[in-house]
Amino acid sequence: MHLLNFPLLFALAAALGDHPLVVQQSSPHAIDLGMPPAHRAPDTCPIDTISCQRADIDPCCSPTNGLLVLAQQWDTRWGPSDQFTVHGLWPDTCQGKQLPSNGCDPARAYTNITDILARSQDAQLLSDMATFWPSNKGDNNWFWAHEWSKHGTCVTTLHPRCYASAYKPFEEVSEYFRSILDLRAKYNVHAALNASGIVPTEPESGRRPKNTYSLEQFKQAIKSAWGVEPNVKCRGRRLQEVWLWFQVRGRDTYYPVEPWGQDTCNRISYQQKTNTA
């Protein structure tokens, strides 16, 4: 559960000078995204719109659920030894509330994500997904389908109506996953930590590893890289995830903002990966 930072909420509302959007749930199964008639959004959208700033903006031009969390995970069993992998990009309402657990459009809750990505015009996409977005349970298709159905269907700028007559079946799925992989590469947490001298340590056994970093060291390293602090998540002392929060300029230009969640770490054990990737 994301916990709200109310002082930041009021400061953000004052800075933006407009009322944040309120997303109303229309049924137990889906939410009303207020989608307009079909049109080719990128050809008609203003490029300087900021998500959560205006309530009257076309949801094809600016995401209605305009506060998003990029969760990057550190699992010593998966992914390249010098890279965090993706858990997901999670849209929240502009008030920082989570969306329905079954997503926003059950009709597009596709279960064959691997097949869709394999048929994508982006020939590298499926390979990149396997490298940088692996399931820690060994079932990539299930993991990706879950992330798409719960979170991807809530990105209003990727609704098929936004593509109008140019729409090709499932292209919003490929665009969703590619955009997140690109965002992960741009906001490379491993590189940001390394630049501040925070590097993975030798593996230690037991529940309370002794070779640790402080939460403040992690937060300052990220702030030095991108000007905002992250949320850092641990299990015990072991690092699990680093969360970066974003708003969106225009249709799909993400920029980092201060965190709306809470940290679950004090001392952080950031250990080397034990796989050979």
**Distance (Å, whole) CA 109 – CA 151:** 10
Specify whether 151 is catalytic. Answer: yes
Contact 62, 254 (CB under 8 A): no
Q: What is the dihedral of CA 217, 218, 219, 223, to 10 degrees?
A: 100
**Distance (Å, whole) CA 236 – CA 24:** 37
Structure tokens at 270: 């950031």
Q: 10 Å Cβ neighbour count for 14?
A: 8
User: Looking at 2, 146, 151, 159, which residue is catalytic?
Assistant: 151
Residue showing tokens 């002082």: 7
User: Looking at 2, 146, 147, 190, which residue is catalytic?
Assistant: 147
Return the axis-axis angle of helices 171-186 and 125-132, rounded to nearest 10°. Answer: 50
User: Looking at 2, 87, 146, 190, which residue is catalytic?
Assistant: 87
Question: Which residues neighbour 35 within 8 Å (Cβ) at sequence distance 6 or greater?
Answer: 59, 60, 156, 159, 161, 162
Specify whether 147 is catalytic. Answer: yes
Catalytic positions, written as ranges: 87, 147, 151
